[in-house]
Structure 1
């Protein structure tokens, strides 16, 4: 599959590299990225290579942080302008997650709430993409956008990054205003304070948000995305993931968030050759494996997190998916691990 990214993601490279005495225009030219048109999407592997080389040539592993400081809402095009008029950060984040293809289709982002925290977790779609440096730049630009509309200094509670090499945490701590920065993690996480996420924003304007959101949709359609199919299913799926992370499933609430009735949502999904129950089943199947492999929760806790009423229902579903009960799956995994030692 050919993954792509928003073309503006490489624009800051010449500017930030000039501060370190490096010709960023030459770098982009060598990759064939120097003269792309406004709004044009770029191959994700080239975007990843551009940021990798930028870090290497500048001697700055955290190059994405340095570059993100110069980003402003207009850098995000219509989506940035839509975010400017959101009612709170939760609304802004929901809007960003509503259009994952606008940012890059080489990542998947999940959001979930705790009692005092709100977490954004980013997963690469493939092992090679989007690249550590490119991923960190994308995360930093998202934070910079949210910080631009926040009435005070936005701070993270903690930051988790996937890079494994030794790196000075200072740049990350200063940019995100947080002490706890963890490297070598399985996924990238930005943990916000929940109280900040729902704080009313001073420039909320529903009409402006709606206007610019329509421009985002038009842009994606021009770029060849099957907006009706991909985006609607992504919207439902993203909300399902959020609900499962919170341990419950509420079809009516998802429909309300999409401004349609449950019946209308079911009809739209049927027209797209799927159903709400099919999406629930698919996400549960995927999440069950990940949770079992992590071995951090009991089977009862996993069953509750996935929205099953009891342990036995989870066991029956898992056996239907994989031909084994969860206990048998874990026993087999332990045996295979022992055999490989």
Structure 2
């Protein structure tokens, strides 16, 4: 069995649960296989419950060996559901559109694994969501399974017949079973690529999703940020985000107060954020802009309520900031949203 250390990257245990479901669907005793891999097949309601990525790799190796299915990761990816990702999953399902959905993956994937970084890029022809793997212990099955999970979620929240324009995989084209990939993704699959990525059609990215709920997404976003802060207490960005969300409605949200709550001086906090290529003001603006759009889409909240909920002193200051973020005033944005 592959060995691991506490310093290796980890992945949310839901991955193991999805693999177990895929094994059972193929008539394989998942308990026995997991025991062979040295992993106890248990479930946990804690979003921070994680397993070493190297162990997931070993489980996948044994699963491919037991089933004879080269693209077994695709089967695991199809067994994810919102609850698999806890608050993150529900936040994804409540996204306003696919762009919003992808931005959440970019921002919060850290809750699922510390072994990958996503990027969403607009090109001349499409939008590309790619994942850069940090540590090579991740296997092909993990990557293709995660991309499959993303496509499955899009089929649930957007439309059942959703297909990407293209999927790129760094892995080489398998000699046997390559057809399973195009059958699953229902689009061209490019093997031996430089990227592991999904290509989205531009016309799909900003269509209002049927189950969109800005309020539900916001509540779960806050839970995700809190879990991320607990998960990695050395992550200064997550710590600052958590405190800003707590203090914004109180009117006492400022750099000095945040630094004090984190037991450091404003200068020390500035230096730590600078090392992460960001600043207190950038984090504050980013969170405010996200929350502002979510609040505006809730008809039950007045502009005045939103103003003070985000810590602005008056509606004119909020309106100027909102126009800077969106190109529209709050009332214009809300009217256009209602008409659409």
**How does the TM-score come out when normalised to structure 2?**
0.65
1:273 partnered with 2:279: no
Matches within 5 A, 1:153-172: 153-164=161-172, 165-172=174-181
1:175 aligned to 174, 181, 184, which one?
Answer: 184
Partner of 1:294: none
Give the distance between the partners of 1:150 and 1:231, measured in 2 at CA.
33
Q: Does 1:49 align with 2:58?
A: yes
The equivalent residue for 1:14 is: 20
1:38 matched to 2:45? The reply is: yes
Unaligned runs of 5+ in 1: 234-259, 262-266, 280-341
* Partner deviation per Cα, 1:146-182 (whole Å, 9 max, x = no partner): 221103521111111122242433222122221x212
2:48 matches 1:28: no
Counterpart pick for 1:84 among 90, 93, 97:
93
Unaligned runs of 5+ in 2: 1-6, 242-252, 255-265, 279-340
**Match of residue 11 from structure 2:** 5
Separation in structure 1 between the aligned mates of residue 190 and residue 57 of structure 2, nearest angstrom: 22
Cα deviation for residue 270 of structure 1 reads: 5.7
Structure 1 counterpart of 2:152: 144
Q: How does 1:1-341 map to 2 (within 5 A)?
A: 1-30=7-36, 31-35=38-42, 37-39=44-46, 40-127=49-136, 129-164=137-172, 165-178=174-187, 180-229=188-237, 271-275=270-274, 278=277
Per the TM alignment, residue 222 of structure 1 is displaced from its structure 2 partner at its CA by 3.7
Deviation at 1:4, TM superposition (A): 0.8
Secondary structure at the counterpart of residue 11 of structure 1: helix
CA shift in 2, pair 1:222/1:275, >3 Å:
closer
Deviation at 1:217, TM superposition (A): 2.2
Judged with a 3 Å threshold, the aligned counterparts in structure 2 of structure 1 residues 232 and 28 are, in CA distance, closer, same or farther, namely: farther
1:228: how far off? 4.1
Partners of 2:77 and 2:12 in 1: how far apart? 15
Contact 1:99 1:231 in 2 (8 A): no
Q: Structure 2 vs 1, CA of residues 229 and 92 (structure 1 numbering), >3 Å: closer, same or farther? A: same
Q: Secondary structure at the match of 1:190?
A: strand
Q: Give secondary structure in 2 for the equivalent of 1:99.
A: helix
Tell me the alpha carbon deviations over residues 73-102 of structure 1, each in whole angstroms, 9 at most, x when there is no partner: 222211111112111010011112111211
Residue correspondences, number: 250
Any conservation in 2 of the 1:115–1:194 contact (CA below 8 Å)? no
2:236 touches 2:273 (CA, 8 Å); kept in 1?
no
The TM-score with structure 1 as length reference comes to: 0.65
In 2, are the aligned partners of 1:116 and 1:195 still within 8 Å (CA)? Answer: no
Per the alignment, do residues 275 and 43 of structure 1 end up closer, same or farther by CA in structure 2, a change over 3 Å counting? same
CA distance in 1 between partners of 2:218 and 2:274 (Å): 27
Match of 1:33, SS?
coil
Cα contact 2:168–2:195 (8 A) shared by 1: yes
Deviations 1:254-293 (A, max 9, x none): xxxxxx99xxxxx8996252439957xxxxxxxxxxxxxx
